[in-house]
């Protein structure tokens, strides 16, 4: 096996759905990957097999188990990446949960609200803080260092869903988090972006497939199909390559035209 080469990416929620699509796109371009997730290692063994061909070419992949909503887990994940790879060029904040039970906001419960915001907003914010401090250290040590942070949000940050109020709020706040980190990290050669997916085939949408099949058939999106994890993956890979320069803080919407206003 060749010696491991290539930049390093940490992808939270990287073993399924959109996160796995992102991981596949980055692995194909030679990135070394740390994939975060909640499941036990034996439960993600099948995912490890997906990357076997890349590992044969020297692309390292490791699994970092932990809950981004837990401060100790966040610190441990970053330390595991540091010990394994010694560097970090890309953080993808992808881990997230939908609103438990998809309750009407009149029936929303505080415990569920807290959990959604902890996973979708608070956790990524403080994980970004840890990784940003490390990226600053790397830039101080090497002025040629360039880093990237990508926050995966959702069109639900702009489109109202009264049965997922906590989820909508968390994704709307991701926009401000992206801008905050973009301003803070620009002096250290770290670009920060938001990728805003639309209706994407994933575990999160599995339970509402029939609903979105009908809406797409009725014209919800300009492009008459579901989005796939690889659609998002290619967008993140483009940002990670630095192909969208001089644009830190911006939003890239991957929604098949869902947000286009039409008469």
Which has the higher per-residue pLDDT, 203 or 164?
Answer: 164
Q: Is the pLDDT of residue 1 over 60?
A: no
pLDDT digits (tens, 9 = 90+) for 175-201: 999 999 999 999 999 999 999 999 999
Closest CA to 88 of 44, 172, 150, 21: 150
pLDDT digits (tens, 9 = 90+) for 109-143: 999 999 999 999 999 999 999 999 999 999 999 99
| Active-site residue list | 167
Residue 233's pLDDT band, with cuts at 50, 70 and 90, is very high
Q: Is the pLDDT of residue 159 over 50?
A: yes
Helical ranges in 91-157 per DSSP H: 110-117, 123-141
Residues with Cβ within 8 Å of 222's Cβ and at least 6 positions away in sequence, in order, are 256, 257, 258, 260
pLDDT at 52: 73
Q: Is the pLDDT of residue 58 over 80?
A: no
Percent of the chain with pLDDT over 90: 86
Indicate the pTM of the whole model.
0.95
81: helix, strand or coil = helix
Closest CA to 91 of 171, 34, 154: 34
Backbone phi, psi, residue 6, to 5°: 95, 160
Which has the higher per-residue pLDDT, 228 or 207?
Answer: 228
Residues with Cβ within 8 Å of 6's Cβ and at least 6 positions away in sequence, in order, are 30, 31, 32, 58, 59
pLDDT at 203: 80
Q: Is the pLDDT of residue 100 over 50?
A: yes
Q: What are the counts of helices (DSSP H) followed by strands (DSSP E) for the chain?
A: 9, 7
pLDDT at 4: 52
pLDDT at 103: 95
How many angstroms from the chain centroid is the CA of residue 204? 14
Q: Is the pLDDT of residue 3 over 70?
A: no
pLDDT at 224: 96
Please report, for the chain, the start and end positions of each structural domain, with discontinuous segments joined by +.
Answer: 8-254
Structurally, at CATH architecture level, domain 8-254 sits in 3-Layer(aba) Sandwich (3.40)
Q: Is the pLDDT of residue 247 over 80?
A: yes
DSSP element (H, E) containing 260: none
For residue 122, give the DSSP letter: I
pLDDT at 202: 86
Calpha distance 101→93 (Å, rounded): 24
C-alpha angle 53-22-156 in degrees, rounded to nearest 5: 160
CB distance 89 to 9 below 8 Å:
yes
Q: Is the pLDDT of residue 44 over 90?
A: no
């Amino acid at each position: 096996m060749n010696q491991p080469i290539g930049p390093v990416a940490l992808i939270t929620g990287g073993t399924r759905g959109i996160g796995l699509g992102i991981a596949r796109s980055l692995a194909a371009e030679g990135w070394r990957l740390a994939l975060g997730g909640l499941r036990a290692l034996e439960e993600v063994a099948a995912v490890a097999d997906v990357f076997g061909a890349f590992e044969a070419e020297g692309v390292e992949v490791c699994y970092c188990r932990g809950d981004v909503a837990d401060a100790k887990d966040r610190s441990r994940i970053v330390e595991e990446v540091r010990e394994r790879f010694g560097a970090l060029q890309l953080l993808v904040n992808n881990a997230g949960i939908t609103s438990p039970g998809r309750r009407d906001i009149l029936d929303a419960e505080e415990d569920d609200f807290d959990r959604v915001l902890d996973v979708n907003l608070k956790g990524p914010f403080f994980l970004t803080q840890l990784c940003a401090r490390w990226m600053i250290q790397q830039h101080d040590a090497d002025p040629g260092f360039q880093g990237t942070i990508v926050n995966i949000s959702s069109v639900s940050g702009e489109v109202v869903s009264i049965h997922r109020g906590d989820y909508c709020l968390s994704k709307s706040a991701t926009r401000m988090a992206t801008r905050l980190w973009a301003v803070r990290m620009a002096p250290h050669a770290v670009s920060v972006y938001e990728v805003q997916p639309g209706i994407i085939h994933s575990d999160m949408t599995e339970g509402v497939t029939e609903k979105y099949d009908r809406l797409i058939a009725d014209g919800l999106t300009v492009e008459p199909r579901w989005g796939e994890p690889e659609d998002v993956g290619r967008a993140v890979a483009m940002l990670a390559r630095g192909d969208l320069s001089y644009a830190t803080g911006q939003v890239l919407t991957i929604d098949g035209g869902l947000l286009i206003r039409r008469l």
